[in-house]
Structures are given as C-alpha cells and as structure tokens.
Structure 1
C-alpha cells in the first residue's frame, strides 16, 4: 500500500503485541480522544451478522486509535463478555512504553458505580486504563439500597435516564470525535436509545461524527434520516408502544428536549449529508460508503482518513 493510501498510520503487516511507537514518533491522534459508541442491536441476524462482528469492528477501531497515539473513550460495559473486556487488552498491548497517558478511558454511569470495587480499579490501573465515574446530577437523589425498576416505574426510569444523560454529555465534552456503530432500538434504560443520544449530542457539539451504518441498529436508521429517508424505528409509534412508555413520555416532556421523535427526525433532516461531511472531513460519497459498508478494512480506512484530515 502506498503512503498516499495508507492514511491509517499502521503498517499493513500484522501488528505484534509488542508493537510500540518510539518517543519521537507521535502520530496524528496524539492528545486526541475518540469516543466509540457501540452496542448490540436487534437486527444483526437479519444482516447475516452477530455480536462477534460488532466486537471485531469495535476492537479494530480502538486498535487504530490507540496505535496512532489517541485515547479511545467508551461508556462502561460490565458484562462478562462486554466490549470493555476486549478494549482493555488493547490498552495494555498497544500503548507506548514511554507514554504514561491512558490509551483507553472507560466511563461508568452512576447506577453501576457500586459494582466497581477496589479490585476492579486495581485491575484497570494495571492495564493502563482510565476509569471515570460519572455521578448523577445534583437534582437526583440516588439510593444504592433501593431496588430500582426502570422498566416498570416511571420515576425510576427518569432517574436512570438522567444518569445516562450526564454521562453521554460528559463523553461528548471530552472527546474530539465520535464513532457510532450499531445501537439497540428498544429495551434500553434511558430517555431514547443510547447510540441515538450520543449522536444527537455530537451533532450539537459540531465535532466530527462517523456513522457506521452497515451493522444495522440505530446508526443505520440515523443514516437513513440524514439521506432524507424515513425510519419506522425512530418514530413515536415504535418507541412508545406500551402504556408504560407512553406514560414515561408524558412524564418527561417538560424535562428532556428529545422525548419526541418528530423533533429528532427534524434534527437529523436539518443535519444533512453536506453538514456531516464538512464536520467529519470526508466527502459525501465517502460518508455514503460508511453508511453501508460491512468491510472492516474499508470502514477503518475511511474513518482514519477523516480523522487524519481533521487533526493534521
């Protein structure tokens, strides 16, 4: 591959675990933080994919970020086989020996802070992973002794949604660019699907946003809206399809700006392909490819190309 095409900053040869950049070889993502917003989604199987494909693309994106001296940001996932477990190995393998910065920072929302004990923190530190605990907003009185029911109790759902909101706003504030992949369309615990909320905050920040739509989920539905198409999933009819969710919508209508999907659809219609391309330094055709590609090499190439242009 020629230098002109190899904008990734990584050799085309397979990287070995001992790979480290020298002190004088700081790459274009040095001192930059790139958020990766990814979650499993319901329609992976329809696309001939499964959760491992999401793992593969997420790991590869994080590897390219870390190998180019960047910091990967991710919202905490405490499942046994969650994305955090995959990312932490990259942090220990691909950071420079002479660099004491965190290559990977994991953000955790308040409802799960009681699950992070001293052993967990020592484990993160030993692998050179940063850990950010995001407390709930001041107007929320969170009680760890209470058995919250965010799927059945409106006020409990509101408390969880507020905790996730401040985490996602903080990640958006801290990152220089954001990548969204997949994203569940239902059975979430926030105001709206998490990847959708991440995308909205990134748009409002006017920072680079890269939408990987080929793996389905929220990212794919967002790409449709940006192209002027309709999304049956990102609609009030689909999202508020039970009496509990209708009650929740009514409860938060004066508390959260994006509870109504007509507002969300208008936001993404106004944020068209041209604006996306200006913000993320890819051409409109390149963004169209990113919307549909399932090829990991093509996806990483396009995103690293955009980041390279944004930060050099």
Structure 2
C-alpha cells in the first residue's frame, strides 16, 4: 500500500512549540520551523490534512502552515481541498476583536480552515462571535478552553506528531504538548514522538520508556505518563524505530520513520475517531 493510499483524506495533528533544550543542542528556532516545514510538505503532498491548535501571530507556526497550505493548493490537482485546519481555542480568540477574526478568515478562504471553539470545545460561528464581548480570559478559562480544544482535536484526527515543546510559562493545567500526547495515549491514537529537539517531547519519550531517563526536570502532569511505560504507541513502528525517532537530530530520518509508521498503523480505527 502506498503512502498516498494511506494518508489521503486523513487528518494528522501536529503539536510543537519552542524547546528550552534547543540552544544546548546547537539548534535555533529556524531549525524547528524547518522541521515543521518538512513534516507539512511531505504529509500535504501525500493527501493528508494537517491540524493545529494555535494563535494567529505573524511569526507563529499557524502562519507557517498557512503559507505551506497555499503552496500545496497551487500544486494539488484538487484546489478546493483545504490542507490545514487551525483551531482557535476560546481563550485565544476571545482576546481578539471579531473584525480581526473576520479578516483572518477572509484571508484564508480557499487556503485553510479556521475554526473557532467555545469554552467547551464546540464550534462557534463567526457571526456568533460578534455577539460576545472581547476580554482577557481568566486562568480557569485558559485551562478549560485549551483542554476542550485538545479533546476536540483528538476526536477529529487520526494520528499525532509531537516535537519540541516548552515545559514552563504555559497556559492551562500542564504543558500543551504533554496534554495532547496524553490524550492520544489514553485514546490509543497513533503517536509519533520526535525528541531530537528536546523539550516536552523528549521528556514524554523518557517518561513512557521509549528513551532512557536523562532529565530530572519536573512539570505539572508528568507523573500521568507513568502508566504508559512500556506500552505500545499504536503507531506502526517497532520499539527500536520509536527509539530512533525520539532521539535523532536528523529531520529527514524522522520523517521517513513517521511515514513508515503511518503506512503500517491502522489509522481511523482507534484513537480520537472512536473516543
């Protein structure tokens, strides 16, 4: 079975943010953006949809994916197919004026899908958003809104890739990448841990036994991964392949492994689609 036959019309969630370990690994922010670019380029070319939960910062990963989606649209034989869905959690969009969201949605028409969610993770129409007061969300709003978005993403994706990830200065109850990885593990959704950039993804790999423990830093929720130590990631890769994926600094090698795993994993029959 070819990669395209497996990935066509599948939804792949990607979780990333800057890693505190990157300077020590000789890596810069550009390296993480390059990795995201390569992941997106390969998966989009094979017919998959990328799903991301981010804000609309000019220099953020969402905008990077939008640029790649626009390029994909020019090259695809089906220009009406949208390659990227970006979820805006309640605490993210409620800080912005509705007119800004209108403009962003208009700018992305035909390129990517922008989905606003209410605090419980239900879809919120832009017209409805105009009836809500813009405000700075409280800490409880951040925690519930982000967690609800992550459950929504789990229910509507077939696999997840994580890389990098901060473990401090995060909003919510635990680091975002950790919570998203935990949801995937709990639902037996195929999970691909790229640990070469360090950060939260590397910590998760160590905590679930893919890599030998090498760090002692603590962050909220880390102990919740203990119960998954030694268990399968349902991602089509062997234990050794997962070890390489979680440790290699070479993006090309990681992508080969991810594509191999996606081909072998039983996408759509477990994880979020049945959660």
TM-score (norm 2): 0.84
Pairing partner for 1:275 from 201, 224, 232: 232
Report the Cα distance in structure 2 between the residues aligned to 1:84 and 1:233, rounded to whole angstroms: 28
Pairing partner for 2:50 from 51, 72, 77: 72
**Equivalent residue number for residue 33 of structure 2:** 55
Cα deviation digits, residues 167-193 of structure 1 (max 9, x gap):
111111111000001111100111100
Report the Cα distance in structure 1 between the residues aligned to 2:229 and 2:215, rounded to whole angstroms: 15
Mapping 1:156-171, distance limit 5 Å? 156-171=138-153
Cα deviation digits, residues 210-244 of structure 1 (max 9, x gap):
00111011001111111263753234xxx5xxxxx
Pairing partner for 2:251 from 272, 278, 296: 296
Question: Aligned pairs, how many?
Answer: 249
**Equivalent residue number for residue 286 of structure 1:** 241
**Equivalent residue number for residue 124 of structure 1:** 108
1:183 aligns with 2:165: yes
Give the conservation status (yes or no) of the 8 Å contact 1:208–1:280: yes
Q: Report SS of the residue matched to 1:232.
A: coil
Cα deviation digits, residues 104-162 of structure 1 (max 9, x gap):
11111112324342221111114x20111111129xxxx744444xxxxxxx2121110
| Structure 1, unaligned runs of 5 or more | 10-25, 149-155, 240-260
**Equivalent residue number for residue 98 of structure 1:** 78
Report the Cα distance in structure 2 between the residues aligned to 1:51 and 1:196, rounded to whole angstroms: 20
Q: Report SS of the residue matched to 2:15.
A: strand
**Equivalent residue number for residue 210 of structure 1:** 192
Give the conservation status (yes or no) of the 8 Å contact 1:36–1:74: yes
Pairing partner for 1:137 from 108, 120, 129: 120
Structure label with greater radius of gyration: 1
1:36 aligns with 2:19: no
Report the Cα distance in structure 2 between the residues aligned to 1:190 and 1:166, rounded to whole angstroms: 11
